[in-house]
């Protein structure tokens, strides 16, 4: 198993920013001031039972955090994608309902991993290996940056529509990303405090929009496509909805590391599942309904073509007058809690690059992610619809490989028993596997994706056989290829390396 004389970056409680402020010995005045303000100064170091006891999270935080993250205009935007693919409202509703009920089980399960005291990207070292986990790190950083951009653009489009084009979308992206950066700098304690309430305002917006815009919604605005072309559209929309739901897998555990370790896992699972699935289904369904308004009303269509999701939302809220304009502001700002998981977890992903990254303050990585999101967001705004569909699909492929490897390692090679993990080995490359098994599973998983994906810029050979434009079956092939390949490669790795 190797020597235990490896690098141990685990800091003291003072270094984590979680020690007692009554004993400030060796702590600078600035750091003490941060502690008093509950500003998080630690990183990905494993949170011990002693640390959790000082400032624990509550189970209901797992629900309100995800309520706020998913009660957002990006969720509304995702629901509109089905109509743009030619699907009828009831087709979209059925897909939204069924896929979310099943797919949201996955991030709810991985949310319970936070009880180990490790963030998800760090926990993945036990399955992907110390060095193989760099794949998780890189793809997690890419996905969080992409989501930052997409969510910001969705909110910016609403602010653009509200201002009649006077506030360009790039400016809206900067406003949203900057606010997110400030909250993420403060850290997890402040995030939970704010997210306990941030879901309420957008919930009111969607309720009012559903009422004032209902007369323009129509289940018959788009006819249900049939045959191979209908199947292709349905498969592609399924891929989008699935990708949206499972995108939280690589960070769901991050927000539960301060819960008492004796918290029942089923409580975290249930709270997280409700927090993700309820707003996602409701808001995506409203998005699908909003799109039907663009097919029955020329003014709605023109607004949609000009401002994206913000256009029909503005039209739906017009009957509310000045109050409707105020609600539009709240709708645009709903992208802030939607982006908090992305910017906050970006820094935690980055700290897994190695011992050198642990020495970089979390705030520095939060700032780097903030700058990257602004750059990508401002560029992607010009090609948003294609960017949304393509990005959601690709992120779904990577996320499938991630969860397949973690699940199979846990069940097949760890006997589904948490005691079979050495939690003190999280930072030791000598005690963890290299990751050859996961690298092999990852490669075969993306081979499956390359054969079955359907995006705006590429239709894979097998996907092209479905309908005239092709249908996305990349997720199914990614799952099959990675699920078969990983156990074989992992067994060989354990046999040859002993780890």
Rounded to whole angstroms, how far apart are CA atoms 431 and 3? Answer: 8
pLDDT in tens, 63-101: 999 999 999 999 999 999 999 989 999 999 999 999 999
Q: How many CB atoms lie within 10 A of CB 330?
A: 16
Rounded to whole angstroms, how far apart are CA atoms 178 and 369? Answer: 11
pLDDT at position 19, please? Answer: 38
| Cβ atoms 481, 447 nearer than 8 A | yes
Which of 29-38, 75-84, 359-368, 442-451 is the least confident region? 29-38
pLDDT at position 382, please? Answer: 64
pLDDT in tens, 143-165: 888 888 888 988 999 999 999 88
The percent of residues in the chain predicted with pLDDT above 70, rounded, is 89
- Determine the 3-state secondary structure of 55 from DSSP: coil
pLDDT confidence band for 252 (50 / 70 / 90): very high
Task: Give the pair of three-digit tokens for residue 445.
Answer: 């998983």
pLDDT mean over 191-200: 92
pLDDT at position 146, please? Answer: 83
pLDDT at position 16, please? Answer: 38
Residue 10 CA, chain-centre distance (Å), reads 27
pLDDT confidence band for 449 (50 / 70 / 90): confident
pLDDT at position 145, please? Answer: 87
pLDDT in tens, 95-141: 999 999 999 999 999 999 999 999 999 999 999 999 999 999 999 99
Size of the chain, expressed as the number of residues it contains: 499
pLDDT in tens, 209-242: 999 999 999 888 888 888 888 888 898 899 889 9
pLDDT at position 37, please? Answer: 57
pLDDT at position 474, please? Answer: 82
Higher-pLDDT residue of 100 and 13 is 100
pLDDT confidence band for 459 (50 / 70 / 90): confident
Which of 17-31, 71-85, 452-466 is the least confident region? 17-31
N-terminal to C-terminal alpha carbon distance within the chain: 7
pLDDT of 324 above 60 = yes
pLDDT confidence band for 323 (50 / 70 / 90): very high
pLDDT at position 35, please? Answer: 62
pLDDT of 395 above 90 = no
Q: Mention every residue, 6+ apart, whose C-beta is less than 8 A from residue 235.
A: 454, 466, 471, 472, 473
Q: How many CB atoms lie within 10 A of CB 67?
A: 23
From 14, 309, 2, 253, select the one nearest 120 (Cα to Cα).
253
pLDDT at position 53, please? Answer: 76
From 123, 116, 136, 14, select the one nearest 427 (Cα to Cα).
123
pLDDT at position 384, please? Answer: 59
- State how far the alpha carbon of 244 is from the alpha carbons of 74, 249, 395, 397, in Å: 10, 10, 9, 12
pLDDT at position 390, please? Answer: 64
pLDDT mean over 321-346: 93
Domain assignments of the chain as residue spans, ordered by start: 46-382
Q: How many CB atoms lie within 10 A of CB 207?
A: 13
Tell me phi and psi for residue 216, to 5 degrees: -95, -5
Asked if the 46-382 domain carries CATH number 1.20.1740.10, the reply is yes
Helix axes 335-350, 59-70, angle to 10 degrees: 120
Which class for 184: exposed (0-12), middle (13-18), buried (19 or more C-beta within 10 A)?
buried
């Amino acid at each position: 198993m190797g020597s235990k004389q490896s690098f141990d970056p685990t800091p003291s409680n003072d270094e984590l920013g979680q020690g007692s402020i009554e004993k400030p010995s060796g702590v600078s005045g600035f750091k003490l001031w941060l502690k008093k303000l509950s500003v998080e100064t630690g990183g990905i170091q494993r949170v011990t039972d002693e640390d959790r006891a000082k400032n624990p999270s509550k189970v209901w935080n797992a629900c309100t955090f995800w309520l706020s993250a998913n009660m957002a205009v990006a969720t509304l935007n995702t629901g509109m994608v089905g109509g743009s693919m030619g699907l009828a409202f009831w087709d979209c509703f059925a897909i939204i309902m069924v896929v979310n009920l099943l797919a949201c089980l996955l991030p709810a399960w991985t949310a319970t991993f936070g009880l180990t005291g490790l963030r998800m990207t760090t926990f993945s070292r036990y399955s992907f290996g110390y060095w193989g986990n760099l794949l998780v790190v890189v793809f997690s950083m890419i996905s969080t940056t992409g989501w930052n951009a997409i969510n910001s653009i969705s909110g910016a489009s609403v602010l653009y529509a509200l201002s009649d084009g006077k506030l360009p979308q790039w400016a809206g992206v900067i406003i949203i990303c900057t606010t997110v950066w400030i909250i993420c700098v403060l850290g997890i304690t402040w995030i939970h405090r704010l997210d306990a309430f941030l879901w309420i305002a957008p919930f009111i917006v969607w309720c009012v929009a559903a009422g004032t815009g209902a007369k323009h919604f129509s289940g018959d605005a788009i006819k249900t496509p049939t045959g191979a072309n209908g199947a292709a559209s349905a498969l592609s929309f399924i891929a989008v909805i699935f990708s949206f739901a499972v995108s939280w897998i690589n960070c769901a555990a991050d927000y539960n590391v301060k819960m008492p370790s004796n918290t029942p896992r089923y409580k975290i699972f249930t709270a997280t599942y409700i927090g993700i699935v309820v707003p996602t289904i409701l808001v995506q369904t409203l998005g699908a309904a909003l799109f039907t308004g663009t097919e029955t009303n020329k003014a709605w269509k023109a607004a949609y073509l000009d401002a994206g999701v913000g256009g029909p939302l503005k039209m739906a809220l017009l009957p509310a007058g000045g109050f409707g304009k105020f609600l539009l502001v709240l709708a645009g700002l709903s992208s802030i809690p939607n982006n908090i998981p992305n910017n906050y977890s970006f820094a935690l992903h980055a700290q897994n690059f190695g011992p050198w990254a642990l020495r970089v303050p979390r705030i520095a990585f939060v700032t780097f992610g903030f700058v990257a999101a602004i750059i990508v967001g401002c560029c992607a705004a010009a090609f948003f619809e294609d960017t949304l569909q393509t990005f959601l699909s690709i992120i779904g492929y990577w996320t499938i490989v991630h969860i397949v490897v973690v699940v199979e390692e846990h069940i097949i090679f760890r006997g589904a028993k948490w005691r079979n993990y050495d939690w003190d080995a999280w930072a030791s490359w000598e005690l963890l596997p290299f990751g050859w098994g996961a690298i092999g599973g990852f490669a075969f998983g993306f081979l499956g994706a390359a054969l079955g994906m359907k995006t705006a810029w590429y239709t894979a050979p097998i996907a092209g056989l479905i309908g005239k434009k092709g249908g996305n079956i990349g997720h199914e092939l990614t799952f099959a290829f990675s699920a078969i390949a990983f156990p074989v490669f992992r067994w060989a790795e354990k046999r040859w390396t002993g780890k």
